[in-house]
Amino acid sequence: MGGYVKTFMLMAALTALFMGLGAMLGGASGAAIALAIAAAMNVFAYWNSDKAVLSMTGAKAVDEASAPALVRMVNRLADGAGMPRPKVYVIDTDQPNAFATGRNPENAAVAATTGLLRRLSEDEVAAVMAHELAHIRNRDTLIMTVTATFAGAISMLANFALFFGGSRDRLGGMIGTIALMILAPLAAALVQMAISRSREYEADRVGAEICGNPSWLAAALRKIEAFAKGIDNNAAERNPAIAHMFIINPLHAHAHDKLFSTHPNTANRIAALEAMQPVARSSVPRAGARVAPKSGPWA
């Protein structure tokens, strides 16, 4: 519950920042216009964000014919968690990683990279998929879409302040305008990152419960981070705004927490998982099945 309270407070801060920026640019009418812009952007993001993210990463849909073990694994995990089965995608990149997207559990997708399927054990892949299912069940995919949209809108309004002015007296002249243009997006990015980081801990906890063994997810995180430091994820490098969606930062982040990191310290996440007790689950596939798709460029 503490994680949800923190997320609510951070989103309230982001909303207040957005409205405050609109008010500084145009008073009460500016705040109203800012709210209308945010609403329109969020409606568009609500319906189209999953398609955009999947397209940017080059994810390809798979089914039981092309990736039987992976799809059946995700289906069993979803069934065991009592949630709708998401669509399953594979991204052709050697960096082990994964993400979830979708506006709600009924319209969701999970994506795994070919590197994840090749380099991790079956149990570790199951734990990663469980983590992504946790994001879907917790509706983090929608939360992160909304926060990313707000952050983008704040940056847009800050640029309006520079190019279209607003009230110079209210903003304290050109220096105040430039400071606003820099500081407002910076503050929005910090809030967005704080929300992302808080949701990762909760998804780790719920994901460990879904797969039944926290040590599987701890081992997966350790491996993914080690590989991600030396293997490029070209799609993420081209679109860094989607980095926060992956289970581990795909952009070669440092191992320690940084002010601008979209993910918590992996060592801290592993420690939290190792403090959990295993939970019996019958929905997780056992050793012997091949997880990687049997055909395609990732085979």
| CA dist list (Å): 182 to 70, 142, 186 | 44, 27, 6
Residue 284 DSSP symbol: S
- 145: its two tokens: 């879409």
Which residues on neighbouring strands pair with residue 99, listed in sequence order? Answer: 111, 246
Which of 124, 132, 202, 225 is flagged as catalytic? 132
Q: CA nearest 53: which of 238, 297, 253, 260?
A: 238
DSSP string, 239-282: -GGGGGGBSS-SS---SS--TT-SS--HHHHHHHHHTSPP---S
User: Is 131 flagged in the annotation as binding?
Assistant: yes
- Cβ atoms within 10 Å of 290's Cβ, excluding its own: 12
Q: Is 132 a catalytic residue?
A: yes
Residue 150 and residue 135: Cα distance in Å, rounded? 20
Residue 138 and residue 76: Cα distance in Å, rounded? 18
- 232: its two tokens: 């490029």
Q: CA nearest 111: which of 227, 247, 209, 232?
A: 247
Residue 206 and residue 112: Cα distance in Å, rounded? 19
Cβ neighbours of residue 36 closer than 8 Å, sequence gap 6 or more: none
Residue 68 and residue 235: Cα distance in Å, rounded? 25
Which are the catalytic amino acids? Answer: 132
Q: Which residues are annotated as a binding site?
A: 131, 135, 200
Output the known binding site for Zn(2+): 131, 135, 200
